[in-house]
Amino acid sequence: MLARAHQGASTEFDPLEFDRYTRLHELTRMMTESMTDVVGVQRGMLVQLEQLTTAAAEQQRDVRRHQAELQHLRSQPLHTVEPRLRHVLRQAAREVGCDVALVLQDGTVEIERDLLDRLLGPLEHLLRNAVVHGIEHPEQRIAMGKPAEGCVTLQATLTGNELQLIVQDDGHGLNLDRIQERAVAAGLISAGDVMQARELGELIFTPGFSTATELTTLSGRGICLDAVRAELHSLGG
């Protein structure tokens, strides 16, 4: 009331206006300003997060590209070793007196150089084994209605990080009777044992096992398929 009474003397400020601003108003104002600051910080962090996400995606693309380039540098197509495999097959066929051709399928599949170098030994073993124990002589093949020239097929398939190699010949296949006879003679099975074809087939991987009737430079030692399996196991195959 005194303030209103003296309004005529001074109208610049009314002390009663202080009643409108209590402690609650001050706290509310502080909270509003704090929330505004938090929103601003949040927006800045979102912008930085988006930039980091973009940078991480670009880095991941660069890493994948570098890995692909490095893999390409460390790999070579399978067909690069085809001349060597043909030579091995041709030499083995010449020694046993038959004609054999090599058919390479999907030779463009790229394999790591180190892995391919270690696979050459097992592949050469399998090619020789196919010639010695699988492919018939030309006269026998003609009598059976087959082409005089035998065929060994090598097929490669790459699925993800898994490489599959299939070596197949068009010969007579496993001589199960001869395998069982040699297994009985070697004491691996008893004469009265009844075994399935797959079980008899597994015996050819036994160390020292061979169905050859005589020792030659290509057969009779019993180390071929055993060495192949051992090398593939060492490679994780």
The confidence score (pLDDT) of residue 126 equals 92
Confidence of residue 21 (pLDDT cuts 50, 70, 90): low
By the 8 A CB rule, do 146 and 170 touch? yes
* More confident call, 215 vs 233: 233
Backbone region of residue 198 per phi and psi (left: phi > 0; alpha: psi in -120 to 50; beta: other values):
alpha
Domain chopping of the chain, boundaries = 20-74, 78-234
* Structure confidence by residue, pLDDT tens digits, 82-134: 999 999 999 999 998 899 999 999 889 988 888 999 999 999 999 998 998 88
**Torsion of the alpha carbons at 67, 69, 70 and 71, rounded to the nearest 10:** 80
Q: What CATH code is assigned to 78-234? A: 3.30.565.10
pLDDT in tens, 164-212: 999 999 998 888 888 888 888 888 888 878 888 888 888 888 888 877 6
Q: What pLDDT was estimated at residue 27?
A: 84
pTM beyond cutoff 0.75? no
- pLDDT of 162 over the 60 cut: yes
